[in-house]
Structure 1
């Protein structure tokens, strides 16, 4: 609308200017409105007035063309204006489609909890009360667990592990949270009974505390670490990852350096840990590259680079103690890395 009004004003000014130039109209400075037009001839005959309203063929074509253009400009915005009603209908249809997809996903998730599919074979899932310490592999399969998870539980029990309460089932590595929440109400361990229509309730029975056999921190797997009090699947995996990066533990106290392990938890399990360091992986400092040295948790890049530079300048190290000649290797660093280096 604003564009069409602007064009109309421009056309109107163009017509006035052309009329003024054609008939030599002049402005009167002393008129009240300062826009009084005085013709060149004050008196005219009747037929002379008709000249103002008579146009040539070209002028008539120009006027008609201009009127068509102005009319088109006037109605063009209305022709391309958005249809609000159509937009609202499209929005409602889009919302309905999204809602249908959400319902479809919810139904698919519920169906996934009711059946366990393995290699194209559908196995019906049935829920029943069970003791995780005595349930065979076939029973776990009926409950809908995956083969890998069942193998993890079996290995844990075979190595002396035992579930003392239902919450410990959630610590099994690979057990999905949805599976645990689905099975937890049906866990029935010795000393725990189920009231009809209610969740499991612990019976006030005195149990003798089970003695946990000490484990070798250089040979234990995640299942054996999880059997320790306060150690879950995450901490167990962190301990093993730290052991692999080091090349093995040479002291039980190194377990306390594992990220996220509280000191209180370490003090509880310390007496249940032993360390056999005869199989520790050692790095030959006369042949190791910079990349091999810097990845060790106890050897930073600056120390690794200094060790390589010193070897390039002075030749191979004659003994492990010779690395102390490198300025970057302090007594504290040497004490930590000594079990992990050797010379050939």
Structure 2
């Protein structure tokens, strides 16, 4: 190789030498360059500033990560992932009648709609449950409209007109659950025999009305006293009074005799009767006229 070098012309030899020298210089400068300049010397104040800046940057990064984690745990997801997260959320049904104020504070942003829903549900009952994902998807106004559409007035707020036992016909009586055609006719027939009901407890005396049925229907009835027929022992015939379910012939005779002697009062003691028990007297005196 070195022998070949001497076969080049003198000008070519000089060019090769110059090229080698240049390469050596370039390599040497590259190696020596880091040692030719001193590293910048920072003051303690500058060093503290850089350390503080790095700490703040790290803190911000951690807060962002933590905020995203908390947001996801609370059911809040970035907008671009909202549809996917909602679709992946398990189907949890919410009974809107039993949730507390914290639920509305979390899911209703507007104070007006939050207060309106709370006031509405004091008087109305929501008939359907709603998936939690729908609660989160609906706007405040949409949720309020959904609640109103699927609610009814609570039972205690319903103004139900009670049926007057002394005025009702069979059609009205049959509106009461448990009272059919047969029982409605019996109620009216017994009302005619009594001359009118003086209390709804007398329904228990109607054949076919069990204690259980009476317990279910008693609050659906009222009793007006104005049309009740009462007997005057001084004027009405004994035979007529005896047709009443509460009076027997011999009992009416005894009552008439006591009345003529002015010894019959509403507080008459049972011990003064010969044919009338205390329970019978309680019923009888409700259908008598006392002077």
TM-score normalised by the chain length of structure 1: 0.35
Higher relative helix content: 2
Higher relative contact order (CA 8 A, sep 6+): 2
